[in-house]
């Protein structure tokens, strides 16, 4: 091939390519032109490059020099076109964001009202000198009944009043049940340490009750236990009164009504004044000597009190919730209020 012809091809290519590139405004068109001229397989630039091999050896340096000039010119036009296309892209996404506008509110989840209540109760009782302990929800009859002075034939053991775990019994021959009260933790704590003991334990308990506005088959209790030399029932009442006024407010009255629990003697029901009437919040009493004996404490040396309060009731009283089922429906419209 003649050098003239080769240079002519290059000139044409440059004119065409630079002309087309200079008219380009967007990325799609740019890509078309790129393939047409600079495509690696059959782009026109590639074709001209191939024909350089057909030049006489003496013509090649001059041909190569012109080739490089054209290559650089096309590259420069391409870079410019690319710049324009990317500016166009940012422009075309609509009006510019206004950084002075307030941001969109991010909706975060939060802790369930009962969990919030538990944390609050722990904090109040912590200030009264009670430390927090925990016990298992799956229990054995020793901790749920026997050590609590609830004998074999006691109605509290009735399968109709408890969730016995049949499979556990079938597979291993041992009786297991979902604890029906947090008093189990009293036993576990006293078995594992010597007095003085001043603890609370908050957790779930299970009873096969029909759900209604005030009952649910799973609920929470706060158990309290204080055993030491010379602990009295007057202290029990003081602690409960301090607790009630801290949690519910200064105007809350409390009262004890005589009652019976196998593990306390004497035993009382604990009522708080709620919206014009007395409402039962739980039970309490002086730890029965049989219980102290069961855990190896000397009832001649130590006395103690215990109480168990319903956590849902406390939460409902404080937040004016009237149906316990609302707490467990998982309806965000309700839960969001807390």
Q: How far is the CB of 143 from ligand PHE (least distance, A)?
A: 12
CA-CA distance, 262 to 259, in Å (whole number)?
10
Question: Is the omega angle on the peptide bond into residue 83 within 30 degrees of 0, that is, cis?
Answer: no
Minimal distance in Å, beta carbon 318 to ligand PHE?
20
Give residues 182-211 in contact with ligand PHE (rule: CB under 6 A).
183
Q: Which is nearer to ligand PHE, 297 or 307 (CB)?
A: 307
- Contact between 239 and ligand PHE by CB under 6 A: the answer reads no
Q: What is the DSSP string of 306-322?
A: EEEEEHHHHHHHHHT--
Does residue 222 contact residue 200 with C-beta atoms inside 8 Å? yes
Give dist(CA 180, CA 207) in Å, integer: 6
Residue 135 sits in the site that holds ligand PHE (CB under 6 A): no
Q: For ligand PHE, which stretch binds (CB under 6 A), given 84-92, 100-108, 306-314, 315-323?
A: 306-314
Give me the torsion for CA of 308, 313, 314, 320, rounded to 10°.
-170
Residues 147-186 that bind ligand PHE (CB under 6 A): 181, 183
Closest distance of CB 112 from ligand PHE, Å: 22
| Stretch of residues binding ligand PHE (CB under 6 A), selected from 34-42, 235-243, 303-311, 329-337 | 303-311
Nearest to 180 by CA among 133, 145, 132: 145
Minimum distance, C-beta of residue 229 to ligand PHE, in the bound complex (Å): 20
Provide, rounded to whole angstroms, the least separation between the CB of residue 306 and ligand PHE. Answer: 4
**By CB under 6 A, how many residues form the interface with ligand PHE?**
11
Minimum CB–partner distance for residue 110 and ligand PHE (Å): 29
Candidates 113, 203, 285, 304: give the one binding ligand PHE (CB under 6 A): 285
Residue the block writes with tokens 């130590």: 302
Stretch that binds ligand PHE, among 48-56, 80-88, 243-251, 305-313 (CB under 6 A): 305-313
Contact present, 311 and 305 (Cβ < 8 Å): no
Among 227, 264, 294, 324, contact with ligand PHE (rule: CB under 6 A): 264
Contacts 24+ apart (CB under 8 A), 246-252: 246/124, 246/127, 247/120, 247/121, 247/124, 247/314, 247/318, 248/272, 248/314, 248/317, 248/318
**Binding residue for ligand PHE, selected from 261, 272, 297, 302, defined by CB under 6 A:** 261
Task: For residue 45, count other CB atoms closer than 10 A to its CB.
Answer: 20
List C-alpha distances in Å: 327 to 116, 162, 214, 285. 12, 22, 11, 29
- Using CB under 6 A as the binding rule, whether residue 308 contacts ligand PHE is answered as yes
User: Among 139, 307, 315, 327, which residue interacts with ligand PHE (rule: CB under 6 A)?
Assistant: 307
Q: Which is nearer to ligand PHE, 216 or 307 (CB)?
A: 307
Minimum CB distance to ligand PHE smaller for 256 or for 328: 256
Contacting residue, 306, 314, 315, 321, with ligand PHE by CB under 6 A: 306
| Distance of alpha carbon 279 from alpha carbon 41, whole angstroms | 89
247-256 contacts at long range (C-beta below 8 A, 24 or more positions apart): 247/120, 247/121, 247/124, 247/314, 247/318, 248/272, 248/314, 248/317, 248/318, 256/284
CB closer to ligand PHE out of 117 and 184 = 184
Residues that bind ligand PHE (CB under 6 A): 181, 183, 261, 264, 282-285, 306-308
């Amino acid at each position: 091939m003649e050098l003239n012809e080769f240079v002519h091809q290059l000139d044409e290519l440059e004119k065409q390519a630079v002309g087309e590139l200079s008219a380009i405004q967007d990325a799609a068109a740019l890509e078309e032109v790129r393939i047409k001229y600079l495509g690696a397989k059959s782009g026109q630039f590639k074709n001209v490059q191939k024909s350089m091999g057909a030049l006489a050896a003496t013509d090649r340096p001059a041909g190569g020099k012109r080739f490089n000039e054209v290559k650089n010119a096309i590259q420069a036009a391409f870079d410019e076109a690319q710049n324009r296309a990317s500016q166009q892209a940012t422009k075309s996404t609509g009006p510019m964001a206004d950084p002075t506008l307030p941001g969109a509110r991010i909706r975060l989840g939060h802790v369930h009202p009962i969990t919030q209540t538990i944390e609050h109760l722990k904090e109040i009782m912590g200030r009264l000198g009670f430390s927090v302990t925990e016990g298992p929800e799956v229990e054995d009859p020793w901790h749920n009944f026997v050590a609590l002075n609830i004998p074999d034939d006691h109605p509290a053991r009735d399968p109709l009043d408890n969730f016995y775990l049949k499979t556990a019994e079938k597979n291993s021959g041992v009786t297991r049940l979902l604890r029906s009260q947090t008093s189990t933790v009293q036993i576990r704590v006293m078995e594992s340490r010597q007095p003085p003991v001043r603890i609370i334990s908050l957790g779930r308990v299970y009873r096969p009750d029909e759900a209604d506005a005030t009952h649910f088959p799973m609920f929470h209790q706060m158990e309290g236990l204080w055993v030491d030399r010379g602990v009295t029932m007057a202290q029990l009442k003081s602690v409960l009164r301090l607790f009630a006024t801290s949690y519910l407010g200064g105007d809350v009255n409390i009262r004890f009504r005589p009652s019976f629990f196998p593990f306390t003697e004497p035993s009382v029901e604990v009522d708080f004044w709620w919206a014009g009437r007395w409402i039962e919040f739980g039970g309490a009493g002086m730890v029965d000597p049989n219980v102290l004996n069961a855990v190896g404490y000397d009832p001649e040396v130590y006395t103690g009190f215990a109480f168990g309060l319903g956590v849902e009731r406390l939460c409902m009283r404080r937040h004016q919730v009237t149906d316990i089922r609302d707490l467990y429906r998982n309806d965000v419209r309700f839960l969001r209020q807390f």
